[in-house]
Structure 1
């Protein structure tokens, strides 16, 4: 098993390992990202480790370059997915030193309860090619936050992502695996 395969399976790596896997992985074209992807965090000791898992985050959907749903969550019955508006998430507060670790927490019921206030049917990100660490590759650009999720290809159905968050002290990594098994349902907002 390669280092890339191991860290995707274990969802844990040192920052150096994750950076090396990212840097060694092939760039991707934005068209490669079209579809629905199941996400998983790669824990590297980042302050944000566990935040996505604790929230119940399921993944991302790329309809086209202008229509991206960056934060998908499962419906309460688990039969579909809904999109959360990232504008309603205070990322700068969530990464502050005063916030306790999210690791091992389960906040998914809180997110599901807040769905009427935080759900959206409108796209909240765009997909572009950017140059990151000297390589042109597909990048998801959030509309409401200074965050770019940069992607590199592990295999035909898996990418490693680097959350490039302005002023972050350490990189935050995640993986996405292609998974079109659940429909994304539009909310009323």
Structure 2
């Protein structure tokens, strides 16, 4: 479903959409420049039936922080005792997690993971921003340092972007959005 303003369409998609609807929306949005992403962003997901749907929130994902093109914190998490920290993505066994997503939806496992996450914190950036071509359009892309993941962004409005997480081995992209803080 498409509404008059892209941000209205995004709000509609937050309740769930097919991957086809979401990709059509992404493709209709304009690209983003690297400089447009600098700053701190809170995040949310668009459920599309991806194995990662709902997992980031369960583990306390807050958003991303772009300090510069070579200084990106891709997994900013809410600390269980308040505040935030940057999770080191290299220490997250993502391929194993994706093979067993049902286990990760268990409330007890989620609580344990959220509590132990701060032990996997880093002060170092773990990603960088580059302009890449994806689905025929050149746009800002966050490239993880230690994982085969690229997050490609398109602009919803001045303070909102839609992201597609393209990961080797993942059949279709995981869809999320960021709102400037």
- TM-score of the pair, normalised by structure 1: 0.86
List gaps (5 residues or longer) in structure 2.
none
Distance 1:155 1:6, change over 3 A: same
Query: What CA distance in whole angstroms lies between the structure 1 residues aligned with 2:108 and 2:28?
Result: 34
Q: 2:71 aligns with which of 67, 74, 82?
A: 67
**Alignment root-mean-square deviation, CA:** 2.0
Alignment partner, residue 183 of structure 1: none
Q: 1:93 aligns with which of 93, 96, 100?
A: 96
Alignment partner, residue 182 of structure 1: none
Runs of 4+ in 1 over 6 A off after TM superposition: none
Of stretches 42-51 and 112-121 in structure 1, the one that deviates more from structure 2 is: 112-121
Between Structure 1 and Structure 2, the one with more helix by share is 2
Q: Is the 8 A contact 2:87 2:118 kept in 1?
A: no
Q: 1:21 aligns with which of 22, 25, 35?
A: 25
List gaps (5 residues or longer) in structure 1.
180-189
| Paired residues, number | 177
Which secondary structure state, in structure 1, belongs to the residue aligned with residue 169 of structure 2?
Answer: coil
Of stretches 59-68 and 86-95 in structure 1, the one that deviates more from structure 2 is: 86-95
Query: What CA distance in whole angstroms lies between the structure 1 residues aligned with 2:5 and 2:162?
Result: 12
Q: Is the 8 A contact 2:6 2:157 kept in 1?
A: no
Distance 1:16 1:103, change over 3 A: farther
